[in-house]
Amino acid sequence: MADSHQVLLITFTGPGPARAAYREALDLPGLRQAAILERSAEGLLDVPESHVRGAGKRAAGGGLVGGLIGLLGGPLGVLFGSAAGAALGGAVENRELLEGGAGLIMLSSRIDEGAALLVVDLEEAGPGPGDEVARRHGGTLERVPEEEFAARVRAAEEAAGD
């Protein structure tokens, strides 16, 4: 089976199993990002754990490239080039994080008081590993193709903007 970009939404009745499943999900093949959303008994939403594969690489890479280009301008050029490159790389990462945050906000309405949701974005070769994480920790799994999930997020953003 060819890899497919999926978003796994695994619902749990409490935070303990969600956190255990999160730790296990970090080792899933093809993982891109994962996050836990929890709602307290008082109704407060929290994101106690999140992981983005490669976070910080764009800012560091931009700083390195900017610094190398800045070598042409001497020590001051390296300083300014590194700063400019890191800022540009950081801006790209910030935009991606904001888009991910919109997805988490959209999902928040699905979480009952005292419950938790594990969101896993990954390239799957097959459903077995993700299914096993959900089963082993007592979660209810919904698998959504990434394109469909992105369309849901865009629709929610547009509805919120009206």
Dihedral, CA of residue 133, residue 144, residue 12 and residue 50, to nearest 10: 80
HSE-up of 131 (CA within 13 Å, CB side)? 5
pLDDT above 80 for 128: yes
Q: How confident is the model at residue 92 (pLDDT cuts 50, 70, 90)?
A: very low
Alpha helices, DSSP H only, in 4-127? 15-25, 57-70, 74-107
- Cα separation, 154 vs 102, in Å, equals 9
Residue 43 pLDDT more than 60? yes
Of 97 and 110, which is predicted with more confidence? 110
Q: What is the mean pLDDT of residues 72-89?
A: 46
- Measured between its terminal Cα atoms, the distance across the chain in Å is 41
So what's the pLDDT on residue 80?
42
Is the pLDDT score of 39 beyond 80?
yes
Backbone φ and ψ for 51, nearest 5 degrees, come out as -145, 135
Provide mean pLDDT across the span 78-87: 45
pLDDT tens digits, residue range 98-126?
444 566 677 777 889 999 989 888 999 88
User: How far, rounded to the nearest angstrom, does the alpha carbon of residue 153 sit from its chain's CA centroid?
Assistant: 13
The arithmetic mean of pLDDT across residues 25-44, rounded, is 89
Report the pLDDT averaged over residues 122-135. 91
Average pLDDT over residues 57-84: 45
Question: Distance between CA atoms of 143 and 162, rounded to whole angstroms?
Answer: 29
